Amino acid sequence: MSNPLSAFLRDYLTVGIFASLAFVLVGLLLFISWLVRPDRRQAQKYIAYESGVDPVGDMWSQSQVRYYIFALLFVMFDVEAVFIFPWATQLEVFGFFGLIEMTIFIVILLLGLVYAWRKGVLRWV
Amino acid sequence: MLAATSSQFPVIPAMILLPFAGAALIGLLPRSRGDLFRPVALLTAVATGVLSVWMLVGFEDVARFQFQVNQPWISDLGISLHLGVNGISLFLIVLTGLMFPVAILGSTPSHDPKPYYAWLLVLMGASVGVFAAMDLVVFFVFFELVLVPMYFLIGLWGHGRRVYAATKFFLYTMAGSALMLVGIVATGILHQRGTGGPLTFDMVAIARDQVISRPATLWIFGAFAVALAIKVPLVPLHTWLPDAHTEAPTAGSVILAAIMLKLGTYGLIRFGLYLFPDAAVTLRPVLLTLAVLGITYGAVVATMQKDLKRLVAYSSVAHMGFCVLGIFSLTVQGIEGSVLVMVNHGITTGALFLLVGYIYERRHTRLISDLSGLQKSAPIMAACFTLVMLASVGLPGLNGFPGEFLSLLGAFEGARWWGVVAVTGVILAALYLLWAYQRTFHGPATGENARMKDLRPGELMVLAPLLVLIVFLGLYPAPMLERMEPSVKALVAHVDRNSDGFTAVERRYVGPAEAAEREGEGG
Amino acid sequence: MTALLAQLAPGNFRAPTLDFHALAPEIVLLVTLVVLVLLDSIKLERARASMPAVTNIGLLAALIPLVTLAADGGTRVMFGGSYVVDPMSLVLKALFIVSAYVVVLLSTNYVAEGDYWESEYYVLLVSSVLGMVVMASSRDLIGIFVALELLSIPAYMLAAWRKGDVRSNEAGLKYYLMGVFASAILLYGMSLVFGVGGSTRLVDIGLRLEEIGTEGVPVVTLALVFVLIGFAFKVSAVPFHVWAPDTYEGAPTPVTAFLAVASKAAGFVALIQIVYFCFIVRPDIIQPIFFVLAVLSMTVGNLIALRQTNVVRMLAYSGIAQAGFMLAPFVVAGELPVQSRQAVVIYLVIYAAMNLGAFAVVIAIARKTGSGEIESFGGLFQYMPGMAVALTLFLASLIGIPPLGGWYAKFSVFKVLVEAQTGLGWATAIVMAVNTAIAAYYYLRVARAMWFDDAPDGDTTPVKVPAGLTAAVTLALVATLVFGVLPGLLSDLTSFQPLALGG
């Protein structure tokens, strides 16, 4: 550790190597597939999705605000899960203290759910 | 202690608090009792004036600061409510005690009497505070505080472009005082560095120790000088004055001329000479030049004025120039003369503004061209005006003379060539005042001018004390000189002792300098 | 880093001992928050009327442990030095809570009469205050960042509270986008700081930075610059101020008061933590940055404020200038750590009192005039003399006229700048003096309208001011006067013992 800067940069060097490898790999695969695939052009192939709904109308179409609310609620519980999983793997280590902490965390999150429920957010009107 | 007998009663705090209390009382009175505001204001102002006279009587002719009060305020910064008077500030406080009752009696506000009298009293308390402060921070506090009531007095009860004038006045002074605050802080801290002792903003301690390095004092003195030169005003920084004086209500003009301008010159003595003698000596030529410029420029511009009030305003610029000239002549005579000019200019110009106010009330114009022949319709007023005007010109025997004479005498001793130029100002003063008098009071009285009412007895009573003082101080200024002489001598000795390249110009005049030195505190 | 991992290894974990006394203010606020949400969830619309009262009781209750902690004295360190309750943090917490209390007083009628979401308003307000209170004690990069987000995110929403109004939406959106942008920059800076310092605890980073010395200058400089820029956004220092005027004007006025006072103060508290517990070891890097920020903020803020015709916008720009004054002591942080920190805290406290007061009066007057245009204040002295006098006093205090609080704030900043006797210190002092005079002009314009002009519509019927607003104005006025007349009180309160970096 003579020079912390170079040590610091060396850590990033690994990242840099991996990043360039990734670019090379992607380029390589695209190149190989271009080499081996047959090439028959059709109009159908140029629409955005090969399956599903045909994209029509403006790019900036509006979505129902309900989707956002549900997305938010989903994120809320998603984050909850993100915290609970690592905690669960170390349950014995954290012991009783961990239990209390997690209870408080869940209760506060639940409070949000109660709020959302009472305010009628959960109903799809 | 000699002063022990007279320092039993804290007269200075009383003189500061009394007007504030009066203002608070007026603030608490209901608006419906409109008849009470004026008596309360008058009573408070007169009581304060009486206290100032009591102080004058109890004052001893020594250089020491008297009636001292010292009360810690912000102890960890070494700021204390240190108040006191010496021979220089004494008369300015008495002048404050005199002019405020006169200003209150001499005119009535056109509307809203309640805030009008409250602001006047706040102004009075703050003015006494400025003159009595012996702590730099306390000085600054009062110096700033003076601004606010004056701003409202001009802006609310003034004439014409009152708001413009008030704002201009406020901003000019504010710009200077911000610089001064930096200067004050720097003084305190550099003094602490120099002595290694505790932080203090006490003027006496800072002046005594003189530990601040020379380059630093030059900068700090510069900051102070700019702030104070705006207040005086010295010439390139004077442009707020004609507007403020002209648009202010009569009482405002009287107070502005009589008291507010003195804050600047008083500050120059206190901070210029007393705190930074060395810097004052070094930068002396600059200030002398500005003073002389003020004298001549003020006089020339006054000659050209069409508006009577503006003329008086410009004459103030010239008179204050004499003050600064006297101060920076750095001689005993010069400084004594300068203090005399301060007091007497306060009296005469206050009286002039009152008279112009009376004319305006009757004729609703201040333009010289609209007035003529008033002598016939208002002989008593003409007589008063003549007396006051001659005093302002500096006629021997009236109060304008001794101060101007001593200032010039000092200047000839200490700063000869500046003195030579300044003398022309005396001639010009005679020119513009006499000419103005001639145009307004002589000649044929036509139309409105012929029907103008003379002074009422009440108005004459207001003017009477000023007229008496004009004559008395002109004939017999000795009582004033006696009281200020020890202080001034001590100050000159202090400057002499603490400055390089300057020896009190005529040591032969400063015979008792050593005696003053032994007195200890100077300035 | 390895130490952190080792802690998590099985068998090595020990539950931290919690000092509940020290955490009591935070806990009380959290309980208040829960109570508010529950109240709202259970009683729905019927809860509206009781919300402000519950909020105020909660805030006042949070003050009690602050007083007992202050009486107890001493410094309480938790979580391995990441969370510290010392006298300085107590003063700052009290500042936040009292400011929030005043803001609630200002909001009560405004929110109730404006047909806005009322319950959520107070919930968000309290959570923002909780973030500020946490900020005052955080001595750790993560703690600071979490506190910053906790105080900012509710504020973004509050800024857009008048949701029917385009301006308010713009206010919220601008504030949000700029805030998130600032957070991103801040996080990047923090990651670099962590990379160099090898710890998230400020004192450890400080020691490490000192150890490195002048080695690795580029990355250290970069790290510090990014972190400071992140906070410069929060305190709306020029050139990172562009969001402030639009946000302040568009947001509901009580929220503006909250943003201009509490939120800005929180940004400064974060700066105090970061600078005085960590970055202070590299004054050569941070002082020039602060010099530029301070000088630009006071000058640009003042010059633009000169041209404003709307009081709230004028206060926004004047707030930018005032932020410049508050940044000034940082310019001499290296020479005089203890005194310059004290100067910042003193300025913060006094600024909070006078600015909250000014906003309170503006809200009271806007109830009649319905606008914040300076012209609409004409003739105020004729029909609402009390409010006119109060606003005049607040403005005079902002100008710095003694004996009102503002003068002492300026005085203490000048003192520390001069005392350092460095070139940068002197230069800042001079620029500040010039700016003080410029600032006087636009504050005077408001006073001028109130006193000298006539009412623009000729309507001079006095308007009834709700008790809450009167209380807020009185509280701010008393504070402004007391700080000005007895500044010794404040300097005693803020004369913190110097904290060794190792503490």
pLDDT in tens, C136-148: 999 999 999 999 9
Neighbour-count burial for B396-429, b at 16+ CB within 10 Å, e otherwise: eebbbbbbbbbbbbbbbbbbeebbebbeebbebb
Say if the Cβ atoms of B185 and C433 lie within 8 Å: no
B287-B290-B294 Cα angle (round to 5): 135
- B83 has which bridge partners? B69, B133
> Which is more confidently placed, C171 or A94?
C171
Say if the Cβ atoms of A5 and C219 lie within 8 Å: yes
Longest alpha-carbon distance in chain C: 79
Residues of A in contact with C44 (CB under 8 A): 118-119
From the CA of C122, how many Å to the nearest CA of chain B?
38
Mean pLDDT of C158-180: 89
Residues of A in contact with C38 (CB under 8 A): 111, 114
Q: Is C394 on the interface with B (CB under 8 A)?
A: no
Say if the Cβ atoms of C434 and B137 lie within 8 Å: no
pLDDT tens track for B174-188: 888 888 988 999 999
pLDDT value, residue B113: 87
Mean pLDDT of C197-204: 88
Residues of C in contact with A117 (CB under 8 A): 41
pLDDT value, residue A51: 62
Question: Pick from C10, C15, C37: which is nearest to A97 by CB?
Answer: C15
B467 SS3 class: helix
Question: Pick from C38, C41, C195: which is nearest to A8 by CB?
Answer: C195
pLDDT value, residue B114: 87
Indicate the average pLDDT of chain B.
Answer: 86
pLDDT value, residue B507: 43
Which of B223-232, C373-382, C440-449, C485-494 has the least mean pLDDT? C485-494
Say if the Cβ atoms of A95 and C15 lie within 8 Å: yes
Mean pLDDT of C374-396: 87
Structure tokens at C162: 């008048």
> Which is more confidently placed, C6 or C176?
C176
pLDDT confidence bin for B518, thresholds 50/70/90: very low
pLDDT value, residue B520: 45
| Domain regions of chain C by residue span | 284-503
> Which is more confidently placed, B500 or C212?
C212
Residue B508 pLDDT > 70: no
Residue B190 pLDDT > 80: yes
Rounded Cα gap, residues B451 and B425, in angstroms: 36
pLDDT value, residue A8: 66
**Interface contacts A/C by beta carbons within 8 Å:** 49
From the CA of C50, how many Å to the nearest CA of chain B?
37
| Domain regions of chain A by residue span | 1-40, 62-125
Residue B5 pLDDT > 50: no
Closest alpha carbon to C424 in C300, C326, C290, C322 = C290
Closest alpha carbon to B94 in B137, B42, B58, B68 = B58
Contact partners, residue B387, CB within 8 Å, separation at least 6: B398, B467, B470, B471
Rounded Cα gap, residues A12 and C316, in angstroms: 43
Question: Pick from C8, C15, C196: which is nearest to A4 by CB?
Answer: C196
> Which is more confidently placed, C463 or B200?
B200
Question: Pick from A4, A96, A115: which is nearest to C215 by CB?
Answer: A4
B242 SS3 class: helix
Say if the Cβ atoms of C37 and A118 lie within 8 Å: no
pLDDT tens track for B435-480: 888 888 888 887 777 888 888 888 888 899 999 999 998 888 888 8
pLDDT tens track for B401-411: 888 889 998 88
Q: Is C376 on the interface with B (CB under 8 A)?
A: no
Residue A53 pLDDT > 70: no
pLDDT value, residue B519: 45
pLDDT value, residue C238: 85
> Which chains lie within 8 Å of chain A at 3 or more CB pairs, if any?
C
pLDDT tens track for C2-57: 555 555 555 567 777 788 888 999 999 999 999 999 998 888 778 788 888 999 99
Rounded Cα gap, residues C65 and C22, in angstroms: 8
In the CATH hierarchy, which top-level class contains the domain A62-125? mainly alpha
**Interface contacts B/C by beta carbons within 8 Å:** 83
Say if the Cβ atoms of C13 and A94 lie within 8 Å: yes
Indicate the average pLDDT of chain A.
Answer: 81
Q: Is C462 on the interface with B (CB under 8 A)?
A: no
Query: Around C333, how many Cα atoms within 13 Å sit in the side-chain half-sphere?
Result: 28
Q: Name the pTM for this structure.
A: 0.85
From the CA of A93, how many Å to the nearest CA of chain C?
5
